[in-house]
Protein backbone atom coordinates (compact mmCIF):
# COMPACT_ATOMS: atom_id res chain seq x y z
CA UNK A 1 0.00 0.00 0.00
CA UNK A 2 1.06 3.51 -0.65
CA UNK A 3 1.92 5.80 2.23
CA UNK A 4 -0.91 8.18 1.25
CA UNK A 5 -3.48 5.36 1.46
CA UNK A 6 -2.19 4.27 4.86
CA UNK A 7 -2.28 7.84 6.14
CA UNK A 8 -5.81 8.37 4.80
CA UNK A 9 -7.04 5.16 6.44
CA UNK A 10 -5.37 6.04 9.74
CA UNK A 11 -6.86 9.53 9.82
CA UNK A 12 -10.34 8.32 8.83
CA UNK A 13 -10.31 5.56 11.46
CA UNK A 14 -9.12 7.93 14.17
CA UNK A 15 -11.80 10.44 13.18
CA UNK A 16 -14.55 7.83 13.43
CA UNK A 17 -13.12 6.54 16.69
CA UNK A 18 -13.31 10.09 18.09
CA UNK A 19 -16.86 10.57 16.83
CA UNK A 20 -17.89 7.21 18.30
CA UNK A 21 -16.36 8.12 21.65
CA UNK A 22 -18.17 11.49 21.71
CA UNK A 23 -21.49 9.86 20.81
CA UNK A 24 -20.91 7.26 23.53
CA UNK A 25 -20.31 9.94 26.16
CA UNK A 26 -23.57 11.60 25.16
CA UNK A 27 -25.70 8.44 24.82
CA UNK A 28 -24.41 6.35 27.75
CA UNK A 29 -26.00 8.52 30.49
CA UNK A 30 -29.33 8.29 28.66
CA UNK A 31 -29.11 4.51 28.44
CA UNK A 32 -28.07 4.03 32.06
CA UNK A 33 -30.33 6.64 33.68
CA UNK A 34 -32.84 5.27 36.18
CA UNK A 35 -36.51 5.96 35.50
CA UNK A 36 -37.51 9.56 36.18
CA UNK A 37 -39.69 10.16 39.23
CA UNK A 38 -43.40 9.97 38.56
CA UNK A 39 -44.62 13.17 36.92
CA UNK A 40 -47.54 13.60 39.36
CA UNK A 41 -45.22 13.30 42.38
CA UNK A 42 -42.79 15.86 40.98
CA UNK A 43 -45.61 18.26 40.02
CA UNK A 44 -47.05 18.00 43.53
CA UNK A 45 -43.63 18.54 45.15
CA UNK A 46 -42.94 21.51 42.87
CA UNK A 47 -46.25 23.12 43.79
CA UNK A 48 -45.68 22.64 47.52
CA UNK A 49 -42.10 23.89 47.85
CA UNK A 50 -41.26 26.77 50.15
CA UNK A 51 -38.97 28.33 47.52
CA UNK A 52 -39.51 28.36 43.74
CA UNK A 53 -37.52 29.18 40.62
CA UNK A 54 -36.98 28.27 36.97
CA UNK A 55 -34.26 26.95 34.70
CA UNK A 56 -34.12 28.37 31.20
CA UNK A 57 -32.17 27.57 28.02
CA UNK A 58 -31.08 31.20 27.58
CA UNK A 59 -28.21 31.24 30.09
CA UNK A 60 -24.83 32.63 28.94
CA UNK A 61 -22.93 29.31 29.03
CA UNK A 62 -25.87 27.11 28.02
CA UNK A 63 -25.75 25.74 24.48
CA UNK A 64 -27.26 22.97 22.34
CA UNK A 65 -25.69 20.25 24.56
CA UNK A 66 -25.78 21.94 27.99
CA UNK A 67 -29.14 23.33 29.10
CA UNK A 68 -32.11 22.93 31.38
CA UNK A 69 -35.66 24.21 31.28
CA UNK A 70 -38.49 23.90 33.76
CA UNK A 71 -39.55 24.78 37.26
CA UNK A 72 -37.90 23.79 40.52
CA UNK A 73 -39.01 24.02 44.12
CA UNK A 74 -37.19 23.63 47.41
CA UNK A 75 -38.72 22.50 50.68
CA UNK A 76 -37.12 21.56 53.99
CA UNK A 77 -35.94 18.17 52.68
CA UNK A 78 -35.69 18.20 48.88
CA UNK A 79 -35.13 20.06 45.64
CA UNK A 80 -37.67 18.95 43.05
CA UNK A 81 -37.54 19.77 39.36
CA UNK A 82 -40.31 19.51 36.80
CA UNK A 83 -38.83 19.86 33.32
CA UNK A 84 -35.93 18.64 31.19
CA UNK A 85 -32.14 18.71 31.31
CA UNK A 86 -29.79 17.99 28.43
CA UNK A 87 -28.48 14.46 29.01
CA UNK A 88 -24.96 14.16 30.31
CA UNK A 89 -22.73 12.38 32.81
CA UNK A 90 -22.07 13.14 36.44
CA UNK A 91 -24.51 16.01 37.04
CA UNK A 92 -24.37 17.60 40.49
CA UNK A 93 -26.83 19.97 42.11
CA UNK A 94 -25.47 22.95 44.03
CA UNK A 95 -26.97 25.77 46.08
CA UNK A 96 -25.13 29.06 45.63
CA UNK A 97 -25.20 32.33 47.60
CA UNK A 98 -25.03 34.18 44.26
CA UNK A 99 -26.66 33.70 40.89
CA UNK A 100 -24.31 32.70 38.08
CA UNK A 101 -24.45 31.75 34.40
CA UNK A 102 -20.90 30.76 33.44
CA UNK A 103 -18.21 28.20 34.20
CA UNK A 104 -15.87 30.99 35.24
CA UNK A 105 -18.36 32.29 37.81
CA UNK A 106 -19.00 28.75 39.06
CA UNK A 107 -15.30 28.10 39.62
CA UNK A 108 -14.90 31.44 41.39
CA UNK A 109 -17.85 30.78 43.75
CA UNK A 110 -17.55 27.00 44.23
CA UNK A 111 -16.04 27.27 47.73
CA UNK A 112 -19.07 29.25 48.93
CA UNK A 113 -21.60 26.74 47.54
CA UNK A 114 -23.02 23.56 48.98
CA UNK A 115 -23.21 20.43 46.85
CA UNK A 116 -26.67 19.00 47.44
CA UNK A 117 -26.38 15.74 45.54
CA UNK A 118 -26.33 13.80 42.29
CA UNK A 119 -28.83 14.23 39.48
CA UNK A 120 -29.44 10.86 37.85
CA UNK A 121 -32.42 11.64 35.59
CA UNK A 122 -32.97 14.17 32.83
CA UNK A 123 -36.77 14.43 32.84
CA UNK A 124 -37.73 15.62 36.31
CA UNK A 125 -35.78 14.90 39.48
CA UNK A 126 -36.04 14.97 43.24
CA UNK A 127 -32.79 15.37 45.20
CA UNK A 128 -32.58 15.23 49.00
CA UNK A 129 -31.08 18.30 50.64
CA UNK A 130 -29.25 16.43 53.38
CA UNK A 131 -28.77 17.26 57.02
CA UNK A 132 -28.02 20.85 57.97
CA UNK A 133 -28.62 22.45 54.56
CA UNK A 134 -30.66 25.63 55.00
CA UNK A 135 -31.94 26.82 51.60
CA UNK A 136 -32.80 30.26 53.00
CA UNK A 137 -29.02 30.93 53.19
CA UNK A 138 -28.67 30.64 49.39
CA UNK A 139 -30.12 32.38 46.34
CA UNK A 140 -29.58 30.06 43.37
CA UNK A 141 -29.64 26.45 42.22
CA UNK A 142 -26.90 25.29 39.83
CA UNK A 143 -26.67 22.13 37.71
CA UNK A 144 -23.03 21.30 36.98
CA UNK A 145 -21.31 18.45 35.12
CA UNK A 146 -18.52 17.49 37.49
CA UNK A 147 -16.63 15.16 35.10
CA UNK A 148 -16.15 17.78 32.41
CA UNK A 149 -16.34 20.98 34.49
CA UNK A 150 -19.28 22.10 32.39
CA UNK A 151 -22.01 24.56 33.34
CA UNK A 152 -25.46 23.16 32.50
CA UNK A 153 -28.02 25.62 33.90
CA UNK A 154 -28.95 27.74 36.90
CA UNK A 155 -31.83 29.67 38.37
CA UNK A 156 -32.51 32.02 41.24
CA UNK A 157 -35.24 31.22 43.70
CA UNK A 158 -37.46 33.11 46.08
CA UNK A 159 -40.01 32.34 48.75
CA UNK A 160 -43.30 31.15 47.31
CA UNK A 161 -45.90 33.88 47.22
CA UNK A 162 -49.21 32.76 48.64
Going from N- to C-terminal start, the domains of the chain cover 39-159
Question: What is the distance between the alpha carbons of residues 59 and 152, in angstroms, rounded to a whole number?
Answer: 9
CA dihedral sign of residues 38, 82, 159, 60: positive
Strand 114-119 and strand 68-74: pairing? unpaired
Backbone torsions φ then ψ of 44, nearest 5 degrees: -60, -45
Q: Report the C-alpha gap between 32 and 84 in whole angstroms.
A: 17
Per-residue pLDDT of the chain (162 residues; tens, 9 = 90+): 788 888 887 788 888 887 777 767 666 565 566 677 777 777 777 778 899 999 999 999 899 889 999 999 999 899 999 999 999 888 999 999 999 999 999 999 999 999 999 999 988 999 999 889 999 999 999 999 998 899 999 999 999 886
What does pTM read for this prediction?
0.81
Burial class (CB in 10 A: 0-12, 13-18, 19+), 161: exposed
Amino acid sequence: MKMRTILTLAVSHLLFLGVGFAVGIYVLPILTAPPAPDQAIVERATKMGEFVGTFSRDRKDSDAFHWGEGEFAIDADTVSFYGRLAPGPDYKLYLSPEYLETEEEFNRLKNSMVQVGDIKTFDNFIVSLGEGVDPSRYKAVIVWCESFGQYITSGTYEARKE
